[in-house]
Structure 1
Amino acid sequence: MTITITAFERSPDGGMGLARDTRVRWALEEAGQPYEVRPVSFSAMKEPAHLAVHPFGQIPTYEESDLVLFESGAIVLHVASRHAGLLPDDANARVRAIAWMFAALNTVEPPILELVTVKFLEGDKPWSKDRLPLVVDRIRSRLAQLSARLGDADWLDGAFSAGDLMMVSVLLRLKPSGILNEFPGLAAYVARGEARPAYKRAFAAQLAFNTARPPAG
């Protein structure tokens, strides 16, 4: 059955790989699975048809036969569980890879998203100037811990896995801030992720999707 995912009709980042559909595209590319993309406008995301697929009116979603999923982490885990290449065969290593997926989304990503909020959505608020250094400190603390764990290894736990895919996807959000460059080991780790052929295909597809079509309206 054809896999169909949803993506922003016009991504806020212009197709530079920060939208969460890129994570799903990357997983599908690593797994060698073809897929189609259904664009969704910001207004359509809040309409009943899309809310029936994603109750919170966001992207991405995943549809395959009678299976409908939302949340990028759940989708990537499904792809990794169903197809070879993203989760180890060893049972313990497999669970550790999944743990790193959760760590990326639940421990590392929240303060990074908070940085986006305080800089761009709350930048004009009186508390923004005082709050920003606190958020940056929390990010640096998480990155220091992650860097210490990664050490000199190429990947978080042996071979590349869905845990690395998710962690690299999260860390990519920091590149515009320059904070990632304070941790050379992590910057190199992210660069290794970006160098993977599957990531390059996913990035190129997301960029082309945003630049090949004229804006709606």
Structure 2
Amino acid sequence: MPIIITAFERSPDGGKGLARDTRVRWALEEVGQPYEVRLVSFRAMKEPAHMGLHPFGQIPTYEEGDLALFETGGIVFHLAERYAGLLPADANARARAITWMFAAVNTVEPAILELVTVRFLEGDKPWSKERLPLVADRIRDRLGQLSARLGDADWLDGAFSAGDLMMASVILRLRASGILDEFPNLAAYIARSEARPAYKRAFAAQLAINAGNPPAG
């Protein structure tokens, strides 16, 4: 049965690779698995057919035969376990790679998403200007810790893994903020990630859809 994922019919970022389907596309490209994409509108995401796949009415979803999954971390983990290419063979290295996957979405991403909330959803609130520097400093604290751990290595733990895929997907969202530039080794880490052929194919596929369906507004 073909693998089918869902993606925004019109991505809010216009195809810059920030929508979460990019993570799943990237993982599929890394493990060499073909897939199909079903585009959904914002309205369709809240309708029963899609809510049956994703109880929170978001994207992406993943279907393969009678298996249906949601949440990018869970989908990428499934792909990494089922297909070779994203997890090391050594048991201890494998466990560390999985730990980095969780660190990306549980420890690093929440502060980054908070920055998005302050800037775009709460920008007109009276407390926004005071809150923004506090949120940015929390991000700097996390990036400082991550930067120290990465050091001058290419990847977080030996060879590229699903841990790097998830971590890079999370922190590349900071490029527009300028915060990432304060950590040269992390900026280089993102550049290496985006230079991977699998990432380039995933990015191009998402961009092509959005080029034909520009975001509203």
TM-score, L = length of structure 2: 0.98
> Counterpart of 2:171?
171
> Counterpart of 1:5?
5
Separation in structure 1 between the aligned mates of residue 209 and residue 21 of structure 2, nearest angstrom = 11
Structure 2 unaligned regions, length at least 5:
none
CA contact (8 A) 2:12 2:215 kept: no
Q: Kindly report structure 1 stretches of 4+ aligned residues shifted beyond 3 Å.
A: 213-216
Separation in structure 2 between the aligned mates of residue 88 and residue 50 of structure 1, nearest angstrom = 34
Q: Counterpart of 2:36 in 1: which secondary structure? A: strand
2:164 is the counterpart of 1:188: no
Q: Counterpart of 2:63 in 1: which secondary structure? A: strand
Separation in structure 2 between the aligned mates of residue 206 and residue 95 of structure 1, nearest angstrom = 31
Shift of 1:210: 1.1
Separation in structure 2 between the aligned mates of residue 119 and residue 165 of structure 1, nearest angstrom = 26
Q: Counterpart of 2:68 in 1: which secondary structure? A: strand
> Counterpart of 2:59?
59
> Counterpart of 2:118?
118
> Counterpart of 2:48?
48
RMSD, aligned CA: 1.1
Letter aligned with residue 145 of structure 1 = Q
Structure 1 unaligned regions, length at least 5:
none
Letter aligned with residue 15 of structure 1 = G
Q: Counterpart of 1:36 in 2: which secondary structure? A: strand
> Counterpart of 1:140?
140
CA contact (8 A) 2:14 2:214 kept: no
1:32-62 per-residue CA deviation (whole Å, 9 max, x = no partner) reads: 0000000010000001110000000000000
- Give matches, 1:6-155, under 5 Å: 6-155=6-155
1:123-169 per-residue CA deviation (whole Å, 9 max, x = no partner) reads: 00011011101100000000000000000100000000000000000
Shift of 1:213: 4.4
